[in-house]
Structure 1
Amino acid sequence: MGQFGSATHTPPPTDPAAHPSGPLPVQGAPVGHALRSPLGETGLQVFPLMLGGAEFGWHVDLTAAHAILDTYVHRGGNAFHTCDSYAAGRSEHVIGQWFRSRRMRDDIVLAVRVGRNPDHPGLGSVNLVRSVEASLTRLGTDRIDVLYLDRTGDGSTALEDTLATAEWLVEAGKVRTVAAFGYTAAQLVEARILASAGYPRFTVLDVPHNVLRRDEFDGDLRLVAGAQGIAVTPSQALEHGYLSGAHRSRDRVGASVRGRQLAASMNRRGARTLRALDRVAAELSVPPAAVAIAWLLAQRIVVAPIVNAYAVGHVEELVQGVGVQLSRAHLAEIARATE
Structure 2
Amino acid sequence: MKKKKFGNSNLETNPIIFGGNVFGWTLDEKESFKILDELFEKGYRTIDTADVYSRWAEGNEGGESEAIIGKWMKERGIRDQIGLHTKVGSDMGQGHKDISKSYILKAVEDSLKRLQTDYIDLYYTHWDDDKTKVEETLGAYQQLIESGKVNHIGASNLSPQRLLESLDAHKVHELPKYEVFQQQYNLVERNDFEGEIKEICEQNGVGVATYFSLASGFLTGKYRKEEDFEGKKRKGFVEKYLNRQGLAILDALDKIAEEHQVTNAAVALAWIMNRPGVTAPIASATKSSHIEAFDEAIQLQLSEDEMNKLNEVSKK
Task: Judge conservation of contact 2:222–2:228 (CA < 8 Å) in 1.
Answer: no
Structure 1 segments, 4+ long, off by >4 Å, are none
Kindly report which structure 2 residues correspond to 1:1-339, keeping only aligned pairs within 5 A, or say none.
34-87=1-54, 88-118=62-92, 121-152=97-128, 154-196=129-171, 197-254=173-230, 258-339=234-315
Q: Distance in 2 between matches of 1:284 and 1:96?
A: 38
Deviation at 1:117, TM superposition (A): 4.2
Give the conservation status (yes or no) of the 8 Å contact 1:35–1:76: no
**TM-score scaled to structure 1, two decimals?**
0.87
CA offset at residue 118 of structure 1? Answer: 2.1
Per-residue deviation, residues 77-99 of structure 1 (Å, max 9, x unmatched): 11001010112111011001110
Residue 114 of structure 1: how far off its partner (Å): 1.1
Shift of 1:266: 0.8
Give the fraction of aligned pairs with identical amino acids, expressed as a percent: 30
Superposed CA offset, 1:185-222 (max 9, x none)? 22222112111121000110000000110111111111
**More deviation in 306-315 or 113-122?**
113-122
Q: Distance in 2 between matches of 1:70 and 1:257?
A: 24
How many residues are matched? 305
How far off its partner does 1:329 sit? Answer: 0.4
Structure 2 Cα separation of the partners of residues 254 and 204 of structure 1: 36
1:55, distance to aligned residue in structure 2 (A): 1.2
Q: 1:293 to 1:221 in 2, by over 3 A?
A: same
Deviates more, 1:121-130 or 1:135-144: 121-130
Q: Which amino acid aligns with 1:192?
A: L
Contact 1:84 1:117 in 2 (8 A): no
Deviates more, 1:117-126 or 1:287-296: 117-126
Matched with 1:27 is none
TM-score w.r.t. structure 2 length? 0.93
Give structure 1 stretches of 5+ with no counterpart.
1-33
Task: Tell me the alpha carbon deviations over residues 5-47 of structure 1, each in whole angstroms, 9 at most, x when there is no partner.
Answer: xxxxxxxxxxxxxxxxxxxxxxxxxxxxx22111223312211
Mapped to 2, the partners of 1:67 and 1:320 lie a distance apart of: 20
Higher relative contact order (Cα pairs below 8 Å, separated by 6+ residues): 1
